[in-house]
Amino acid sequence: MQYIDVGNENSGTIKLYYEDHGAGKPVVLIHGWPLSGRSWEKQVPVLLEAGYRVITYDRRGFGDSSKPTSGYDYDTFAGDLDKLMTQLDLRDAALVGFSMGGGEVARYLGTHGSKRVSKAVFIAAIPPFFLKTADNPAGVDNSVFDGIKKALAADRPAFLSQFFSNFYNLDVFKGKLISDEVVRLSWNIASAASPKGTLDCVSAWLTDFRKDLARIDVPTLVIHGDADRIVPLAASGQRTHETVKGSRLVVVKGAPHGLNWTHAKEMNRELLDFLGQKAQSAEKLENAQKAR
């Protein structure tokens, strides 16, 4: 198993587990909450077959990474990603963030810049700003997040069962586009995560990424399902597209939050098409869109 050291907690070292496969231009896949790098099962083989070097890693507190009691904020998450990018000396890389992982993409580019990055992808991602405030009326009311925290603290395993029901829209897709076994696999991965990390990440979701998105200067793709019950399109993907100059928005009709499994074929096609495009500046992309 491969790890990088990203810090210390008392006498222990905080390690991130990662996998690094294939050759070609690197694609870094950043998973969502409360899963791990294993959630990219439908994407990794396709990307490898297309000739990319594929890197997945487990966020601190999740999967096979260390489970410290601190550091569950986006400045730390972006710092962890930067350590991974630096240690592996990744260049001309595409950063692909799903759900919570979109926050790492935004904060990394907003803080560390695009020296090592050629493209960015946000899939069902939480930016630009999930919390409803006076200057962000399209956000989600804080009472929703308070309710999630209370439910996690009371009975985390039971909450996760309900969460995945809405994650995959099981009332619509169970037995059709997703099996009981896949849902069980997701629950098993999530239940093994750090209880404190799982809880603390809910507060991290409320990070304001608007300034980070405004600094993005690489071609950007936004993919979102219009039936997403976890991160609604109107509050996130649509607004990220509007904030990142020259970005491309792909709305997958009828897709839930977990579209990387239920609608993997459609999502993978859009992802491969975008990654295969020749690099253009954000300004050129914006001008091309205006000319249409």
- For residue 52, the domain's CATH number is 3.40.50.1820
Residues 78-81: contacts with CB within 8 Å, 24+ apart?
A: 78/104, 78/107, 78/108, 78/111, 78/112, 79/6, 80/6, 80/16, 81/28, 81/30, 81/108
| 117-123 vs 93-98, strand pairing mode | parallel
Mean pLDDT of the chain: 95
Any residues with CB less than 8 A from the CB of 242 and at least 6 apart, and which?
none
Give the pLDDT band of residue 292 (cuts 50, 70, 90): very low
Vertex 145: Cα angle to 213 and 61 (nearest 5)? 75
Q: What is the DSSP string of 120-145?
A: EEEES---SB-B-BTTBTTSB-HHHH
Residue 218 tokens, joined: 């690489």
Residue 281 tokens, joined: 């500046």
Residue 39 tokens, joined: 């959630």
- What's the pLDDT score for residue 278? 57
SS3 content of the chain, % helix, strand, coil (to 5): 45, 20, 35
Distance CA 253, CA 246 (A): 22
Residue 177, pLDDT > 90, answer yes
- What's the pLDDT score for residue 277? 76
| CA distances, 72 to each of 141, 180, 196 (Å) | 21, 31, 9
Q: Which H or E element spans position 252?
A: strand 248-252
Distance CA 49, CA 26 (A): 13
Distance CA 289, CA 292 (A): 5
Looking at the structure of the chain, the number of domains it has is: 1
Residue 6 tokens, joined: 């990203």
Instruction: State the residue range of the domain holding 261.
Output: 2-291
Catalytic residue numbers read 99, 228, 257
Q: Evaluate whether 193 touches 200 at the Cβ level (below 8 Å).
A: no
User: What would the pLDDT profile of 134-157 be if each residue is shown by its tens digit?
Assistant: 999 989 999 999 999 999 999 999
Q: What average pLDDT does range 76-82 have in this prediction?
A: 98
DSSP label of 208: B
Give the pLDDT band of residue 290 (cuts 50, 70, 90): low
User: What would the pLDDT profile of 221-276 be if each residue is shown by its tens digit?
Assistant: 999 999 999 999 999 999 999 999 999 999 999 999 999 999 999 999 999 999 99
Residue 95 tokens, joined: 């950063």
Burial class (CB in 10 A: 0-12, 13-18, 19+), 151: middle
H-type alpha helices, 55-141 = 74-87, 101-112
| 53-57 vs 12-21, strand pairing mode | antiparallel
Residue 174 tokens, joined: 């169970």
User: What would the pLDDT profile of 50-61 be if each residue is shown by its tens digit?
Assistant: 999 999 999 999
